[in-house]
Amino acid sequence: MSLAKTALPIADRLEYALGAGKLPPHMLDWGRQLLSHLRKPVQVVIMGLPGSGKSTLVNMLAGEQVIPRKKSIPVIEIAGGPEPRVIFEIEDGSMERRPGTLGEGPIPDGTIRARQELPDSDLKRQNFVEVDLTGNFGYQKSIVNWVVQWADIVLWCTREFDDAEQELWASVPDEIKDRSFLVLTMADQQMMRGTLVDRINALEDLVAEEFLGLYPIATIQAIAARSAGAAADPRLWKSSGGKELLDSVLRQVEIGRAADMDRADMLLSRFAPEIAPMPVAPEPRRKTRVLDDGAKAQNSDRPPSDHLSDALDLLQSRADVLFATLSGESEPDPNAVLARCVETANALMDVLNGADPDNPTVREAQEDAEESAEMMLLFQLEKGEDAAADAVTLLLQLKKELAQRADQ
């Protein structure tokens, strides 16, 4: 049995498609990027100014005392591995490896990064990376810009999130902000001083624009509740805020992983459908054409104008739904709009592929529909409000051109 007909995980299917030259040149970079995302754990970055409680939060998320109290390493990564091991990256480019954990021995001079590997199955899905924002404002900003190039989820640790921190965060792309959390550490101390509620209220509007959510955490209590083994206190774990934050982070990990798998599956369905996830090839069947939202009819020798009319009706019905969504009282979800546009572009191809390709007008419409479906894939990679607006604009342009062709 050929590899293309063997049951394969989505990442293996995508890797095979890339190696076999199944993807067009303009899709190669996206395909490679998707494959990289599927092969590696989700990168959860815990970032903030010195003394903001990052290490304590990482220990809470990991469920054990991984990072010692006194350390001076700018970047610490907590990752999965077969056994406890630390890899130190020195500023001269050399590497030093030793078994055990960070707290079990001295830190080599000049260490700029440490990778702590632990035999924890949860770390196969996500890594926790602590990044310390040291130095002057310009240097801190350069670190933030570096982090957002590779981070999947960001937890910004802070006691107050003052003006300087807000200015650092302002330059972060919206795509990262949409899956980031503001974490108010040492919430128990602020509560005892009577300042926590006022601080949360003061940040409410800002958080609504800049983060996915705000989480006040009593980190010391959270660590005590989670790392006590059989004696763990679930009520303390919940009341500390730790459970809600960890659940939210893991939910974003799953959402991001599922989205990457959906995009990869969509890419393979478009360009390499023969690399099937099932070992049995489907039985031959007559082609169908989509009328609207799942309604189908048997293909027949209908005139080209009928197919163009069906395609135009499809675009009109989908456009009505999109405009109803965009003009509603609530703010539309860009990802939902993009998904609807992608679905529409694929349905449009199904309609037009039922027509005679020897007809010049039909062939031009088919080529436009195919090009639009590919553009929708790129818009999904870009994400955000601009990509959603571009996708809607593209559908409107398609509708206009189809109407002109149908009148010819």
CA distances from 203 to 190, 191, 210 (A): 15, 16, 10
Residue type (1 letter), 113: R
Q: What is the mean pLDDT of residues 94-116?
A: 93
Q: Work out whether strand 42-48 and strand 126-132 pair parallel, antiparallel, or are unpaired.
A: parallel
Backbone φ and ψ for 357, nearest 5 degrees, come out as -70, -10
Share of the chain above pLDDT 70, in %: 84
Q: List the one residue out of 166, 174, 119, 114 whose CA is nearest residue 148.
A: 174
Query: Is the pLDDT score of 230 beyond 70?
Result: no
Structure-block tokens of residue 284: 């031959």
Query: Is the pLDDT score of 285 beyond 50?
Result: no
| CA 274-280-282 angle, 5° bins | 65
pLDDT of residue 198: 87
d(CA 249, CA 155): 9
pLDDT of residue 325: 59
If pLDDT is split at 50, 70 and 90, which confidence band does 227 have? low
Backbone φ and ψ for 53, nearest 5 degrees, come out as 90, 20
pLDDT of residue 166: 96
Structure-token match 């040492």, residue found: 186
Structure-block tokens of residue 373: 């479906």
Q: What is the mean pLDDT of residues 172-198?
A: 88
d(CA 225, CA 237): 5
More confident residue, 218 or 190: 218
Query: Is the pLDDT score of 326 beyond 70?
Result: no
Structure-block tokens of residue 377: 């894939």
Work out the number of other CB atoms within 10 angstroms of the CB of residue 237: 22
Work out the number of other CB atoms within 10 angstroms of the CB of residue 95: 11
The per-residue pLDDT for range 347-391, each reduced to its tens digit, is: 888 777 777 777 888 788 888 888 887 787 777 766 777 777 778
Query: Is the pLDDT score of 186 beyond 90?
Result: no
The three state secondary structure string of the chain is CCHHHCCCCHHHHHHHHHHCCCCCHHHHHHHHHHHHHHHCCEEEEEEECCCCCHHHHHHHHHCCCCCCCCCCCCEEEEEECCCCEEEEEECCCCEEEEECCHHHCCCCCCEEEEEEEECCHHHHCEEEEEEECCCCHHHHHHHHHHHCCCCCEEEEEECCCCHHHHHHHHCCCHHHHCCEEEEECCHHHHHHHCCHHHHHHHHHHHHHHHCCEEEECCHHHHHHHHCCHHHCCHHHHHHCCHHHHHHHHHHHHHHHHHHHHHHHHHHHHHHCCCCCCCCCCCCCCCCEEEEECCEEEECCCCCHHHHHHHHHHHHHHHHHHHHHHHCCCCCCCHHHHHHHHHHHHHHHHHHHHCCCCCCHHHHHHHHHHHHHHHHHHHHHHHCHHHHHHHHHHHHHHHHHHHHHHHHC
